[in-house]
């Protein structure tokens, strides 16, 4: 079984009297150690896709298996546990806790896993070392540059050793030099065996990935394997 299996996933929003079909029947499989980019214009449903993959949102209908677990009927608390254990989020706007140091930000998800202070600190230090921020651990987010903040966020995502890393426009707020740094880090993580799923609208970023899924109007428009250059065009 694949790491992620989506079957006929739909997500409808009621906007007044109109029904917006953000996702309109998505079926996709993502394997372990995949490196996938979801691309598409805004409104194509790629962010909704990521929220559902990250168990932040529930689909209106369809099946979602994550790591052989059916996610559909879980309670909010069970979903929180899945987010904590299986998923590492990286956001465009970093989403660090503003009053916590880099170290504390990285330690935060471990609290929800009942990891003791000393162990937590050691794990967070290890994760920060992994993203080359060992010398910035006691800085607050607003004392760090954008690239450093994103690396803290990546450390926070890595520290729980999740099955998948989800990144929503991870370089959207960064300059080109820092973007290159962060993408290099993603490439390394991919090589180390992590499963990465990115949402982006920059071809430059998407080109780093092994697989590019182009979305259009809530459907998968093209699914390209960049390694074999084998494209499957639906519709």
Partner 1 sequence: MFFVIIESTRSAMASIFAHGFRSFLTTLGIVIGVASVIAVISLTQGLRASVGQQFSALGSNSLTISAYTPLQDQMQGRRARLTPDDLEMIERRVDGVASITPLLYATRSSQIRYGSQTTFSQIMGTGYAYREVGQFYVQLGRFLANSDNDTRRRVAVIGDAVRRNLNLPENPVNEYVELGGEWFRIVGLLEPKGDIMGFNQDDIVLVPFATMQSIQGNQAQTDIQIQLRVSDDADVDAVVRRVEAVLRSTRGIEQGQRDDFQIQTPEQLMATVDNVIGMVTIVLGGIVSISLLVGGIGIMNIMLVSVTERTREIGICKAIGAKRHHILLQFLIEAVVLSLLGGMIGVALGYGLGSLVAANIPGFPPAAVPLWAVMLALGFSGFVGVLFGILPAGKAANLDPIDALRYE
Half-sphere exposure of 227 (CA within 13 A, CB side): 6
Residues facing 222 on adjacent strands:
214, 233
Site for partner 1 in 119-178 (CB under 8 A): 156, 160
Tokens representing 196 are: 């990465």
Q: What order of strands is seen across the sheet that includes strand 211-216?
A: 87-90, 164-168, 195-199, 35-39, 211-216, 219-225, 230-233
Residue of the chain from 2, 60, 61, 85 that contacts partner 1 (CB under 8 A): 85
Strands annotated E in 175-216? 195-199, 211-216
Q: How many CB atoms lie within 10 A of CB 226?
A: 16
Residue of the chain from 6, 30, 49, 96 that contacts partner 1 (CB under 8 A): 96
Residue number, 77 or 235, with CB nearest to partner 1: 77
d(CA 1, CA 44): 28
77 binds partner 1 (CB under 8 A): yes
- Stretches 13-21, 31-39, 48-56, 201-209: which one binds partner 1 (CB under 8 A)? 48-56
- Tell the smallest beta-carbon distance from residue 222 to partner 1 (Å): 27
223 binds partner 1 (CB under 8 A): no
57 binds partner 1 (CB under 8 A): yes
Residue of the chain from 108, 163, 173, 226 that contacts partner 1 (CB under 8 A): 108
Residue of the chain from 44, 89, 152, 205 that contacts partner 1 (CB under 8 A): 89
Calculate the dihedral angle through the C-alpha atoms of 154, 198, 165, 105, rounding to the nearest 10 degrees.
30
- For partner 1, the binding residues (CB under 8 A) are 51, 54, 56-57, 76-77, 80-81, 83-85, 89, 91, 95-100, 108-109, 111-114, 116, 156, 160
């Amino acid at each position: 079984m694949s790491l992620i299996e989506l079957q006929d996933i739909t997500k409808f929003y009621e906007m007044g009297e109109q029904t917006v079909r953000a996702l309109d029947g998505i079926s996709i499989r993502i394997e372990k150690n995949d490196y996938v980019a979801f691309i598409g214009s805004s409104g194509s449903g790629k962010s909704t896709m990521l929220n559902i993959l990250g168990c932040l949102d529930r689909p209106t209908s369809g099946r979602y298996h994550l790591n052989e677990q059916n996610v559909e009927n879980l309670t909010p608390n069970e979903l929180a546990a899945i987010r904590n254990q299986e998923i590492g989020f990286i956001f465009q706007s970093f989403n660090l806790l503003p009053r916590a140091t880099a170290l504390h930000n990285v330690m935060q998800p471990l609290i929800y896993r009942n990891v003791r202070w000393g162990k937590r600190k050691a794990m967070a230090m290890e994760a920060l070392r992994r993203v080359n921020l060992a010398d910035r651990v006691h800085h607050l987010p607003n004392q760090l540059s954008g690239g450093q903040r994103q690396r803290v966020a990546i450390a926070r995502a890595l520290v729980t050793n999740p099955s998948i890393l989800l990144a929503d426009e991870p370089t959207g707020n960064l300059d080109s030099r820092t973007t290159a740094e962060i993408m290099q880090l993603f490439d390394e993580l991919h090589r180390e065996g992590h499963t990465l799923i990115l949402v982006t609208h920059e071809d430059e970023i998407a080109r780093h990935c092994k697989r590019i899924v182009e979305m259009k109007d809530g459907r998968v428009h093209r699914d390209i394997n960049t390694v074999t250059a084998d494209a499957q065009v639906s519709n």
